[in-house]
Structure 1
Amino acid sequence: MTDTTAFDWPSLLRRWSGEWADSLPDDETRDEDDETARQARWLGFPPASEERIAAMEARLGLRMPPSYREFLRVSDGWRHAGGFVWLLAGTEDARWHNNASGLADMYEEDMDEDAGPEERREAGIWRRGLQLDVESDITHVLLDPEDVDEDGEWAVYTWASWRAAPPERYANFLEFMRDMHREFHSLQARRSGPDPVFANDTTRELDTLVEQARLEALGGGWERAGKALDEARGYGRPRAAGLGDQIRRLLGQTHTVYFEDLVTDPQYAPELLPSLVAEHVARSHRDDSTLRFHLGGADDDVTSLAFATLEQVRNGTYRYTAAGPFGEAVERARELARWGETDGAWRTLMDALPLWEPLGPDHLAPLGWVADPVLGPLLTPERGRELLSTPRGGQAGEAPRPTAGLDPGNLAWLAEPDPGNNRTSFRFVLVEGVEPQEVPGRLADGGDTALNEPFTFWEAYRRSRHNRREHSSYGDRALMAVGRAGTGWSFAFDGDPAPFDQRRFVSPAAAASEGTRAVVVWSGLRTGRGNSFFHLSVARDGGEQYAFTYSDGGIQQSGEIPDPLDPSRFFGALEVGAEVERSLLEAVAGEFGVHLPRHAIVNGRLHTFTTRSWTRPPRDGETYTVIRVETGGAGPADGRQTGEDGPASG
């Protein structure tokens, strides 16, 4: 709540008037009223007497809100309220709008039948509002007698046709005038030239505030620094937007982050451009003129760097680098993250952050890494706050409490609904004693064991479908992400497997276990189609040790199954579904000491590869279809064959 009645109107209005007068070039042509105001250094008028205010209220039928009433006691009207209202009403000119603009008709025509109270009140302002604009650039300023707070203050609404935006609301007349003072400063800062230089007590105070905020942000005090920078930005002060955008970007507020004057500075461009470009790509912009717009004023080298970075980000090949010990930590963190160890990667970055070296005095935090396809997914709003709260760049301060890890360290999270509730089935392979890059050699065909570059699962899936030239109704070659599954284990994971067919399924556990141990899990206990299933198989040294498959209410099992994994413990009394799935996954995790990295699988980018088929070859008399895409077209072929997938035609 703002104490508007106690506000020092004379100080604001006299400062504003002097700043306006000093901003006018000597050779500029002005009308008589403006020239008089310039010489008097006063944009206002004589104060309104209590009698004049009372007569106004009698004419209008309502007592005026406190802040407007106190303003009138200092100046009975105002010239140049911001850049687009040239004369603001005093006691004689204030009048009820009564839809003089026709905007009530426009808003009411566009209103749906089920419009809520807020929309109807917004439309009604044009009939009931008190109009304060007397002369303006098609800009309306209305006080709303029905939008009143506990202090009796009326809200102010402004609207301009050229803004193509809904009316802007201010809590009271004081807040409106403060914003118009900011608007005046912002416009002067944009057009400020050498004659006259726009410098005054307000600009000097704000520039000092910006420098203090910069140091405070480097010391970890980002909240207060952000508020100070926002205040200075509202007045159009240089540096404020570029500094504040660095804070906003790490908080995940990407929509209006452009780093303004800093992103085109060759000193800072290598660090800020990748973030700007990554957001451009994330918004699916193919028209790169929007990127050029935000590079206005950039030299040829910066522009070339921007579009080279754009190509790398679109192709997923951008790699963030940094100098010194922090740069070494970046490389270690990327190596951890690309195998799914995202919590470890984040801690590696944070431990090294106090050693980070800014590119210049206006560089508040490392930012280019958010565009790195492997490191970027590490960022969350909570982690952004941790980074911003960590002293860096030579500033001392207390380190913040580390944010909690994003991975639960188990398998049970797979039984929880994912966003959109799309993960109703999944399968994974765990291999003991091998590195993730060795997993394809155990699960893929001999000539197809290379790992793809890290992508999200859906990116990898789309690329895989785009590059496939043969599709079989019988084969089940899985696209799987790989990484580390805990101490001594690696995983391959498929979050969108083909339908499970127990008659043709062949577990890859035995082939994966040569010289070690391998575990295969395939769950579909939440498919919702009446064909729930769960498979577990464990193999060692190329031979299956034990396995069971639950399907259609029955259980098939082989080998000596350890008691914690005995299917009879899970299927029986409980209704088959998420709770059974959770219990099974907890048992597997406990038996083998493994986990799968939730954040990396769901939100990150991992290496992928395509396995050999999870189904046996067709037998005599079994019909299937192979579609092979060749230059010039594609065609189906039915085949009956034993062994490899049957004949195909192009």
Structure 2
Amino acid sequence: MTDTTAFDWRSFLLKWSGEWADSLPDDETRDEDDEAARQARWLGLPPASEERITAMEERLGRRMPPSYREFLKVSDGWRHAGGFVWLLAGTQDTRWHDNESRLADVFEEYLDEDAEPEERREADLWRRGLQLDVESDATYVLLDPADVDEDGEWAVYTWASWRAAPPERYANFLEFMREMHREFHRLRARPGDGEPALVNDTTRQLDAQVEEARLEALRGGWERAKRALDEAKEYGRPLAAGLGDQIRRLLGRTDSMYFEDLVTDPRYAPDLLPPLVAEHAAHSYRGDSTLRFHLRGADEDLTSLAYATLDQVRNGTYRYTPAGPFGEAVERARELARWGDTDAAWRTLLDAVPLWQPLGPHHLAPLGWLADPVLGPLLTQERGRELLSTPRGGQAGEAPGPTAGIDPGGLAWLAEPDPGNNRTSYRFVLVEGVEPEELPGRLADGEGTVLNEPLTFWEARRGSLRNRREFSYDDRALMAVGRAGHGWSFAFDGDPAQFDRRRFVSPAASASAGTRAVVVWSGLRTTHREPFFHLSVAADGAEQYAFTYADGEVRSSGEIPRALDPSRFFGDVEDGVGTERSLLEAVAGEFGAHLPRHAIVNGRLHTFATRSWTRPPRDGDTYTRVWIDYGSAAPADGGN
């Protein structure tokens, strides 16, 4: 906590005043007070005596908070607090706001019956606050006597209607004034046409700090670099935001990441535009005009590149293709990632980071891969920190130790709750000795023999339903494919149709021509129907053994290995999670296969539709077939 009573107000205010005076153009017309302040190099007023401060406190009926009291002893008021408060109150002008603005009524209108006490307290600020703004650009500054810390400091709140944001809080008056000094610098850092930018000891020190932070980031010292860049950004120093955004984006931050001052530079645009565009594509609720806003200053060629990249991102066709040895490693990583081996893909990418070449001196790390539909899902916060800690761009530094992979291996992770606890049933096929691209030929027919481009499971499911015209008894599973460990490939469905033991047909036999295949369908944690579990194993086109637990009983066929004997698992299924985990551990142990959690849950994989997992209707079976005509009403018929 800041010791506000020990702060050197006089030095701080003298420095600020001098910087303000030096920032004024010589030909600018000023009023009498501002001209006097410029010549005196002092924005303040004479100091207030203790008697004057005490008299103010008696008038207001409250002792003032420490930092405001100490300020008044140096200057009894202040001109130009930031860019929008032209005169800040001293002992004479400070007064209780007492809802003078009627803003308490306005804020209370937005409260509903269920509003929290904190929300009501915030609305009441306009009745109890102590007003400090005397002259301003419709900007209110209030000290809050109900928001007090252990040192007796009152929080400061500011609000302006034109900012379209809730009131902004500062812990105390000192923090408010520090921020107003930073705001002054931010506004002077980007002057209008023909006006020179502010240059003084503060700006030169901060710019040197930005340059050192740039080198420190390339050496792997991203934490120190980020702190230095964040401080310089608060003062509006050029490049600080653009450099800092590169670090923040690799830490998983996506909000307000615009790579300011750099993304419109043709040198850096090929690597910085894609992640900016990808974030826009994910949240472009207000149309694409906002993208142009974030590319202010870009020429027509760069703007055209941005919108072309936006089309690629939306179509899933964007590919990150850097040059040189690092680019070769990117291709190897993509090949691993598209079949689900995300741990190996990440290690391949990271090992090549020291070979990466920046596009210019202010390029801190490779970023274009974040928009690649296959490579982007590799990022986690831990991995982002690992990349940032790796020396690169020709700078020397200590390389970080390797981090553990994020895939747990095996199959038991399927028994754990997924985000949102939505995965209560799933099914998968394991096939030995074949590549993932061969699975459609074993499990599908017709159009299903072609793999779709890598998509998330929900993107693939949404695409499969789009324009689908016929719905019937068929259960043509949409499966994601990849490698399942040494010698195995998998096809996985995380949201299967309802299991019907009487009509279920295992695809194990058809998938096992010339090899082995394993089928698992689990619904032991289902909440709206009876729990079930199926396992079938086939070799050379014929089923070897199988069992199905459903309706509280087990039905089996063939000679089941001891490790998979259902009697070991279904004596008591009250603990569905424990039973499921034990079964999955046994299957993984028997066949030495695993499913990649990160790729299935967070990544994009190739998909295809299998042939039906249910037998056709027999005489006496009832079913419904529905056709959808997108231009008219949808007919339906039934059959026996």
Give TM-score, length-normalised by structure 2. Answer: 0.97
- For residue 568 of structure 2, what is the aligned residue in structure 1? 569
The 3-state SS of whatever aligns with 1:539 is strand
Residue 171 and residue 286 in structure 1: after superposition, are their counterparts in 2 closer, same or farther (change >3 A)?
A: closer
Is the 1:24–1:196 Cα contact (8 Å) retained in structure 2?
no
The 3-state SS of whatever aligns with 2:80 is strand
Q: Distance in 2 between matches of 1:575 and 1:161?
A: 59
Q: Distance in 2 between matches of 1:18 and 1:191?
A: 18
Q: Distance in 1 between matches of 2:165 and 2:286?
A: 25
Deviations 1:110-141 (A, max 9, x none): 33344333223322322222211111111111
Counterpart of 1:584, as a letter, is L
Deviations 1:557-596 (A, max 9, x none): 1111000100111111342622111111111000001110
Q: Distance in 2 between matches of 1:303 and 1:268?
A: 14
Q: Distance in 1 between matches of 2:288 and 2:210?
A: 32
Counterpart of 2:142, as a letter, is L
Cα deviation, residue 198, structure 1: 1.6
In the TM superposition, 1:428-507 aligns within 5 A as 428-445=428-445, 448-472=448-472, 474-507=473-506
The 3-state SS of whatever aligns with 1:191 is coil
Cα deviation, residue 58, structure 1: 2.4
The 3-state SS of whatever aligns with 2:190 is helix
In the TM superposition, 1:136-285 aligns within 5 A as 136-285=136-285
Q: Distance in 1 between matches of 2:53 and 2:420?
A: 60
Q: Distance in 2 between matches of 1:381 and 1:65?
A: 41
Cα deviation, residue 625, structure 1: 3.3
Q: Distance in 2 between matches of 1:480 and 1:374?
A: 17
- For residue 421 of structure 2, what is the aligned residue in structure 1? 421
The 3-state SS of whatever aligns with 1:304 is helix
In the TM superposition, 1:31-70 aligns within 5 A as 31-70=31-70
Q: Distance in 2 between matches of 1:121 and 1:182?
A: 29
The 3-state SS of whatever aligns with 2:462 is helix
Q: Distance in 2 between matches of 1:321 and 1:87?
A: 55
Q: Distance in 1 between matches of 2:529 and 2:447?
A: 39
Counterpart of 2:207, as a letter, is D
- For residue 606 of structure 1, what is the aligned residue in structure 2? 605
Residue 280 and residue 54 in structure 1: after superposition, are their counterparts in 2 closer, same or farther (change >3 A)?
A: same
Q: Distance in 2 between matches of 1:284 and 1:27?
A: 44
In the TM superposition, 1:70-89 aligns within 5 A as 70-89=70-89
Q: Distance in 2 between matches of 1:36 and 1:503?
A: 94
Deviations 1:318-348 (A, max 9, x none): 1011122211111111001000001111111
Is the 1:525–1:576 Cα contact (8 Å) retained in structure 2?
no
**Which blocks of at least 5 consecutive residues in structure 1 are unaligned?**
641-650
Residue 291 and residue 379 in structure 1: after superposition, are their counterparts in 2 closer, same or farther (change >3 A)?
A: same
Give yes or no for the alignment of 1:308 onto 2:292: no
Counterpart of 2:143, as a letter, is L
Is the 1:185–1:235 Cα contact (8 Å) retained in structure 2?
yes
Deviations 1:243-299 (A, max 9, x none): 111111111211111112111110001101110111011114361101111111111
Give yes or no for the alignment of 1:521 onto 2:520: yes
Is the 1:409–1:597 Cα contact (8 Å) retained in structure 2?
yes
Is the 2:321–2:330 Cα contact (8 Å) retained in structure 1?
yes
- For residue 645 of structure 1, what is the aligned residue in structure 2? none
Is the 1:220–1:389 Cα contact (8 Å) retained in structure 2?
yes
The 3-state SS of whatever aligns with 1:501 is coil
Residue 281 and residue 447 in structure 1: after superposition, are their counterparts in 2 closer, same or farther (change >3 A)?
A: closer
Q: Distance in 2 between matches of 1:530 and 1:309?
A: 46
Higher mean Cα deviation, 50-59 or 377-386?
A: 50-59
- Equivalent pairs counted in the alignment come to 639
The 3-state SS of whatever aligns with 2:44 is coil
- For residue 617 of structure 2, what is the aligned residue in structure 1? 618
Residue 559 and residue 349 in structure 1: after superposition, are their counterparts in 2 closer, same or farther (change >3 A)?
A: same
The 3-state SS of whatever aligns with 1:228 is helix
In the TM superposition, 1:551-562 aligns within 5 A as 551-562=550-561
Deviations 1:133-169 (A, max 9, x none): 1111111111122322222222111111211211111
Deviations 1:37-89 (A, max 9, x none): 11111111112222222222222222222211121121111100011111011
Counterpart of 1:88, as a letter, is L
Q: Distance in 2 between matches of 1:535 and 1:106?
A: 62
In the TM superposition, 1:305-384 aligns within 5 A as 305-384=305-384
Aligned-CA RMSD value: 1.6
Residue 192 and residue 217 in structure 1: after superposition, are their counterparts in 2 closer, same or farther (change >3 A)?
A: farther
Is the 2:190–2:197 Cα contact (8 Å) retained in structure 1?
no
Is the 1:509–1:537 Cα contact (8 Å) retained in structure 2?
yes
Is the 2:191–2:197 Cα contact (8 Å) retained in structure 1?
no
Cα deviation, residue 621, structure 1: 3.5
- For residue 13 of structure 1, what is the aligned residue in structure 2? 13
Among the aligned pairs, what percent are the same residue? Answer: 80
Higher mean Cα deviation, 173-182 or 145-154?
A: 145-154
Q: Distance in 2 between matches of 1:432 and 1:323?
A: 36
Give yes or no for the alignment of 1:593 onto 2:592: yes
Q: Distance in 1 between matches of 2:333 and 2:243?
A: 26
The 3-state SS of whatever aligns with 1:439 is helix
Counterpart of 1:6, as a letter, is A
Residue 197 and residue 580 in structure 1: after superposition, are their counterparts in 2 closer, same or farther (change >3 A)?
A: closer
The 3-state SS of whatever aligns with 1:287 is coil
The 3-state SS of whatever aligns with 1:374 is coil
Counterpart of 2:397, as a letter, is G
Counterpart of 1:586, as a letter, is E
Q: Distance in 2 between matches of 1:284 and 1:131?
A: 40
Q: Distance in 2 between matches of 1:181 and 1:400?
A: 39
Residue 339 and residue 22 in structure 1: after superposition, are their counterparts in 2 closer, same or farther (change >3 A)?
A: same
Residue 58 and residue 447 in structure 1: after superposition, are their counterparts in 2 closer, same or farther (change >3 A)?
A: closer
Counterpart of 2:127, as a letter, is R
Cα deviation, residue 194, structure 1: 4.7
Give TM-score, length-normalised by structure 1. Answer: 0.95
Deviations 1:546-566 (A, max 9, x none): 111111112111111000100
Counterpart of 1:384, as a letter, is G
Cα deviation, residue 620, structure 1: 2.7
Q: Distance in 1 between matches of 2:554 and 2:39?
A: 96
Is the 2:206–2:232 Cα contact (8 Å) retained in structure 1?
yes
- For residue 385 of structure 1, what is the aligned residue in structure 2? 385
Is the 1:192–1:198 Cα contact (8 Å) retained in structure 2?
no
Is the 1:533–1:552 Cα contact (8 Å) retained in structure 2?
yes
Residue 623 and residue 219 in structure 1: after superposition, are their counterparts in 2 closer, same or farther (change >3 A)?
A: same
Higher mean Cα deviation, 389-398 or 184-193?
A: 184-193
Is the 1:478–1:611 Cα contact (8 Å) retained in structure 2?
yes
